[in-house]
Amino acid sequence: MCAVTRRQTGPAETRRANRRWWDGDAEAYLATHGDFLGTADFCWCPEGLREAEVRLLGEVAGRRVLEVGCGAAQCARWLTLAGAYPVGLDLSAGMLAAGARLSAATGVPVPLVQGDAERLPFADASFDLACSAHGAVPFCADSATVMREVARVLRPGGRWVFATPHPVRWMFADDPGPEGLLARMPYFDRRPYVEQDGAGVASYVEHHRTVGDRVREIVAAGLTLVDLVEPEWPPGHQRVWGQWSPLRGRILPGTAIYVCAKP
């Protein structure tokens, strides 16, 4: 039996729960969302914003790019085809195995590394760019450390662009229908969203930061916030993805994309 609660949980419990969650969910996640994500496409969010349209990373050809929380590495594969040298990092062996299968099927190889966004296994200044499309950031208890780690592995002049659920979504039930339009939870309640079993063992954890919290984490890591992109729900876009739906998309922002630079 699974129960949903809000309670404190630290990095170790969060990591354990989410690694197991994504290992177990990898096949179902791809069966549900794989057609929308494509096999070598860079989709930022359920609103369908594509890097090919918006170029938030700037020029990618010839650049070394780290994708943090790459899942099955669809974005990294798009980067390869665009002439970049990406590396995909993910906590979950299950997601990476799905990524390796997609690479074999498409003939577009991407180096994949199993690791934790809070402890990036890379040398200082080893990447020109870093990105994450709803990847690791909200799944880490210590996202301030994620910001510092990404800043460390970026070279000066590098860029870090990451998408998360929009912080205002925290107030609303996880429901794509009318129930999901009622603000029920305090925006300022930072206690993590936890799904747990009858013994209280967490099976899935998401962490919340207000917009101000997130900006402070970025600045404290020595990065500059260049833009905060809030993709609008495109007219005619009908796809429901979990809590994301045309109904809510017309009213509420669903995704926040933070564009940061390392001075």
Ligand X SMILES: C[S@@+](CC[C@H](N)C(=O)[O-])C[C@H]1O[C@@H](n2cnc3c(N)ncnc32)[C@H](O)[C@@H]1O
Contact criterion met (CB below 8 Å) for 45 and 74: no
CA distance 173 to 115: 31
137 by DSSP, 3-state: which?
helix
The least distance separating ligand X from the CB of residue 123, rounded to whole angstroms, comes to 18
The least distance separating ligand X from the CB of residue 178, rounded to whole angstroms, comes to 25
The least distance separating ligand X from the CB of residue 211, rounded to whole angstroms, comes to 21
Token pair in block for residue 152: 């460390």
Residue 162, amino acid: F
The least distance separating ligand X from the CB of residue 235, rounded to whole angstroms, comes to 23
Helices (H), the chain: 11-37, 51-54, 74-81, 93-106, 143-153, 211-220, 246-249
The least distance separating ligand X from the CB of residue 115, rounded to whole angstroms, comes to 7
> Residue 158 or 165: which CB sits closer to ligand X?
165
Q: In what order do the strands lie in the sheet with 112-114?
A: 112-114, 85-90, 64-68, 127-133, 154-165, 255-261, 224-229
CA distance 256 to 42: 16
> Residue 18 or 243: which CB sits closer to ligand X?
18
- Residue listed under structure tokens 């205002």: 168
> Residue 89 or 252: which CB sits closer to ligand X?
89
> Residue 82 or 136: which CB sits closer to ligand X?
136
177 by DSSP, 3-state: which?
coil
Alpha carbons within 13 A on the beta-carbon side of 111: 9
The least distance separating ligand X from the CB of residue 263, rounded to whole angstroms, comes to 25
The least distance separating ligand X from the CB of residue 169, rounded to whole angstroms, comes to 14
> Residue 119 or 250: which CB sits closer to ligand X?
119
> Residue 9 or 92: which CB sits closer to ligand X?
92
Q: What are phi and psi of 112, to 5 degrees?
A: -120, 135
> Residue 96 or 218: which CB sits closer to ligand X?
96
Question: Which residues are at the interface with ligand X (CB under 6 A)?
Answer: 15, 18, 22, 37, 69, 71, 75, 89-92, 95, 116-117, 133-136, 139-140
Nearest residue relative to ligand X (C-beta): 71
